[in-house]
Amino acid sequence: MPSPIVSIVIPTRDDNPSTNAYLKQCLKGIELQTYPADRIEIVIVCVGKERSEQRNYGIARSHGKYVMSLDDDHFLTPTVIEEAVKTLESDSSITFLCVSNRFPPSHSLLKEVRRIERDITLKYDYHIAGCFFLKSILPDKPFNESLYAGEDYELHQRLCAAGYRYRKLESIAFHLKEPERLSQVVRQNLYYGAGIRRYLRPVPGTQVTKLERALSVQPFRLSYLYNLNKFRPTQFLYFLVYQYTRYASALIGMVAS
């Protein structure tokens, strides 16, 4: 019996790998998968105003039993799809999966600080969201198109509130495109901050509360104190500067919106 088809939906602004170096790397990661290549469908979407709209457009046109939402600057390690399918095929109580999104090592102080922070938050299961789904459980337009910040976390929360169970895979993906300067962090978080008010609204008809939403984006976590040894002194000082810049920018964006 052939392996089930997996549809990988990739939202992007530039669908040409010759001009979009990140998309080229993303497709290379798919090419290197241990899962049979003829059972992988790639749906690249460059229409739509926001990523949530692009994701919904691609999912609606996919043909796989399983669908994976993958950003164009993510690089899958080789066993992600094989492990995902084996997990879902062997346990019918699990209907969607999380793939840890880590940052590769870098000589950039900002990127290294973000890498350490991400490794800490993933250790405690903060900032995880489902990205690999049994397609039949997804509603029409699964991603909330009114959001342009946190739409993946919002879908994750809705699915959990509806009683669907998930698991986190051992295999990981790498996030390749990262800010290199604090000025880029400011611009990025002004944009996301403007949309965070919508994310913080409770989900009608579910048990997801506004408090739960707020806690998922709060900047102060005891896990940082428990893992101070992960940072060198210079890195920790820069981490404080980064966190202040990040959340101050997001707050300004939220207030200005």
3-state secondary structure (DSSP) of residue 166: strand
Query: Which among 240, 56, 80, 84 is positioned nearest to 174, based on CA atoms?
Result: 80
207 band by pLDDT with thresholds 50, 70 and 90: low
Give the pLDDT of residue 121.
83
206 band by pLDDT with thresholds 50, 70 and 90: low
Burial annotation 185-196 (CB, 10 A radius, 16+ → b, else e): bbebbbebbbbb
- Condensed to tens digits (0 to 9), the pLDDT of residues 75-97 reads 999 999 999 999 999 999 999 99
- Condensed to tens digits (0 to 9), the pLDDT of residues 52-71 reads 999 999 999 999 999 999 99
157 band by pLDDT with thresholds 50, 70 and 90: confident
pLDDT exceeds 90 at position 211: no
Q: What gap in Å lies between CA 83 and CA 224, rounded to an integer? A: 30
Q: What gap in Å lies between CA 29 and CA 35, rounded to an integer? A: 12
148 band by pLDDT with thresholds 50, 70 and 90: confident
pLDDT exceeds 90 at position 153: no
What burial class does residue 65 get, using C-beta atoms within 10 Å of its C-beta: 0-12 exposed, 13-18 middle, 19+ buried? middle
161 band by pLDDT with thresholds 50, 70 and 90: confident
Count of beta carbons in the 10 Å neighbourhood of residue 150: 22
Q: Residues near 140 by Cβ (< 8 Å), separated by ≥ 6?
A: 60
127: left (phi over 0), alpha (psi -120 to 50) or beta: left
Residue 58: both structure tokens together: 């691609």
Q: Is-contact 77 171, C-beta < 8 A?
A: yes
Q: What is the CA radius of gyration of the chain?
A: 18
pLDDT exceeds 70 at position 73: yes
- Condensed to tens digits (0 to 9), the pLDDT of residues 214-242 reads 555 566 677 888 888 999 999 999 999 99
pLDDT exceeds 90 at position 26: yes
Give the pLDDT of residue 24.
97
3-state secondary structure (DSSP) of residue 170: strand
Q: Residues near 94 by Cβ (< 8 Å), separated by ≥ 6?
A: 87, 88, 165, 166, 167
pTM as predicted: 0.89
Mean pLDDT within 156-175: 93
Mean pLDDT taken over the chain: 89
Sign of the CA dihedral with 186 first, then 188, 194, and 196 last: negative
Q: List the domains of the chain with CATH numbers.
A: 6-180 (3.90.550.10)
pLDDT exceeds 70 at position 125: no
What burial class does residue 36 get, using C-beta atoms within 10 Å of its C-beta: 0-12 exposed, 13-18 middle, 19+ buried? middle
3-state secondary structure (DSSP) of residue 252: helix
